[in-house]
Structure 1
Amino acid sequence: MSRDVDGITQISTDELKAIITNQAKEPIIIDVREVDEYEDGHLPGVPLIPMNVIPTMVDQLDQSKSYLLICRSGRRSQNTALYMKEQGFANVRNYEGGMLDWDGELTFGQEWIVKDPKELDT
């Protein structure tokens, strides 16, 4: 069951698995870890925008869409979600347990490192 921390909805592993299984266009799932962490294992099909790059791209992200952020433990993604909320994003969620809690399928390497936020509209 989801809970709220500082105005950000926290998503559990089971909820994340359900979102992935449904293959809906939203929420847009974004990994906010560093490139080397992403290469070492990430959720299949999930793009990477490192936390420190988000501020340079935030103006190009669609505020009307919903986002779900992932990191190693849930801390960086929570901070990034708070930042996005401050920038006017109404629907940003956090994967609370991060990759430390993920027990599903992984993909390795540089599958999808976002260079242009318009890539997320595909």
Structure 2
Amino acid sequence: MAFEQDGIIQVEPEELKELLKQEDRPIIIDVRELDEYEEAHIPGLPLIPMQTIPAVAPDLDKDQDYLFVCRSGNRSQNVALYLQNQGFTNVKNYAGGMLAWTGETVSGAEWVVRSPEELKKEK
């Protein structure tokens, strides 16, 4: 069951699995480094490395729902907090990160986002 930490909703592994099945879901973004993402990531998730978030944040839709994923849940929590401080109201963190993920993974650079417009294909 989701819980809150520092004002950010934390999504548990089973909840993420259910979200991935839904058509009307948040945009779920992997914020790890490219090499981590290439090694293994949740299928269909775009990559926007944490250090690039400040550059793309002004072009992201503040009214959109976002859920962030990283290795352990720490970087993604920091991204959610950062965006919340930038005026985003619908940001969540995947608690436990990829270390807690027991679902399917794929390798390779499936979807590395170079511009926020590329996220529109997520919906």
Instruction: Tell me if TM exceeds 0.5.
Output: yes
CA distance in 1, matches of 2:23, 2:11: 16
Q: Where do residues 64-79 of structure 1 align in structure 2 (5 Å cutoff)?
A: 64-79=63-78
Post-superposition offset of 1:113: 0.4
List, as ranges, runs of 4+ consecutive aligned residues in structure 1 with deviation greater than 2 Å. none
Shift in Å, 1:19: 0.2
Structure 1 unmatched ranges of 5 or more: none
Q: Provide the identity percentage.
A: 55
- Paired residues for 1:33-112 under 5 Å: 33-112=32-111
Q: What amino acid is the match of 1:105?
A: E
- Offset of 1:23 from its aligned partner? 3.1
Q: Give the corresponding residue for 1:14.
A: 14
Q: Distance in 2 between matches of 1:46 and 1:95?
A: 13
**Please, what TM-score do these two structures have when normalized by structure 1?**
0.97
Q: Which amino acid aligns with 1:64?
A: D
Q: List gaps (5 residues or longer) in structure 2.
A: none
Q: Take 1:106 and 1:64, find their aligned partners in 2: how far apart are those partners?
A: 29
- Offset, 1:21: 1.2
Deviation at 1:8, TM superposition (A): 0.2
Aligned to 1:30, the other structure's residue is in SS state: strand
- String of CA shifts for 1:24-49, please: whole Å, max 9, x gaps: 2x300000000000000001000000
Q: Matched residue pairs, number? A: 121
